[in-house]
């Protein structure tokens, strides 16, 4: 190369285009269609995987709710039954502690219950709280009738038959 030579004259410059931009070629249209099809298919595949799992989660959530309700009901029946047995054996101090746990648990279950009728049923069990607590504190044998009534009401409120 000569040092003094002008190289700009040797470079070929392509034709200049003026006017509106070129329209997409026929090769670009199938690419767009393929991209749309891939997007739609991906979305459908996502839904096919998601919907059954969503339904399964909802079903299992309902089963868990029912199991917890059954557990809460059984716990309330156990506590009031144990309080009754302890009071029947003249262990009024132990029975008082158990009834305190029972009434606290009834309050918790009532607050967790979304159904207004069930909540009212649980709250009705709390009506005898002061009477039973005072009678147990005094060691009054007459508390047995109140505990028996409370036991029967608890069984009805928790869905257990009273004859069992």
Instruction: Name the residue ranges covered by the structural domains of the chain.
Output: 39-157
Q: Which two tokens stand for residue 103?
A: 């009434």
Percent of all residues in the chain with a pLDDT value above 70, rounded to a whole number: 79
124 CB-side CA count, 13 A:
16
Pick the more confident residue, 14 or 48: 48
Q: What is the pLDDT of residue 44?
A: 87
Average pLDDT over residues 72-94: 94
39 CB-side CA count, 13 A:
6
Average pLDDT over residues 66-70: 90
pTM for the complete prediction?
Answer: 0.66
Q: Is 88 exposed, middle or buried (0-12, 13-18, 19+ CB in 10 A)?
A: middle
Q: What is the pLDDT of residue 21?
A: 59
Q: Which two tokens stand for residue 53?
A: 């799992």
Average pLDDT over residues 76-100: 95
Q: What is the pLDDT of residue 33?
A: 86
Note the pLDDT tens digit of each residue in 17-37. Answer: 565 555 555 556 778 888 899
Q: Which two tokens stand for residue 2?
A: 């000569």
The rounded distance, in Å, linking the Cα atoms of 162 and 155 is: 6
Pick the more confident residue, 159 or 57: 57
Average pLDDT over residues 28-50: 85
Q: What is the pLDDT of residue 7?
A: 55
Q: What is the pLDDT of residue 162?
A: 47
Task: Report whether 79 contacts 101 (CB < 8 A).
Answer: yes
Q: Which two tokens stand for residue 32?
A: 């767009």
Tell whether domain 39-157 is in CATH 1.20.1440. Answer: no
13 CB-side CA count, 13 A:
5
Give the pLDDT band of residue 164 (cuts 50, 70, 90): very low
Percent of all residues in the chain with a pLDDT value above 90, rounded to a whole number: 54
Average pLDDT over residues 119-133: 93
């Amino acid at each position: 190369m000569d040092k003094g030579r002008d190289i700009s004259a040797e470079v070929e410059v392509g034709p200049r285009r003026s006017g509106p931009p070129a329209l997409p070629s026929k090769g670009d249209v199938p690419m767009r269609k393929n991209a749309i099809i891939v997007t739609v298919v991906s979305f459908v595949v996502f839904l096919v995987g998601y919907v059954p799992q969503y339904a399964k989660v909802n079903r299992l959530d309902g089963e868990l709710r029912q199991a917890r309700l059954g557990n809460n009901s059984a716990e309330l029946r156990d506590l009031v039954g144990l309080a009754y047995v302890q009071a029947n054996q003249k262990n009024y101090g132990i029975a008082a502690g158990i009834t305190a746990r029972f009434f606290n648990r009834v309050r918790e279950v009532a607050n967790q219950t979304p159904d207004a009728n069930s909540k009212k049923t649980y709250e009705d069990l709390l009506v005898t709280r002061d009477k039973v607590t005072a009678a147990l504190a005094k060691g009054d044998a007459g508390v047995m009738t109140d505990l028996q009534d409370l036991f029967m009401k608890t069984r009805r409120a928790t869905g257990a038959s009273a004859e069992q």
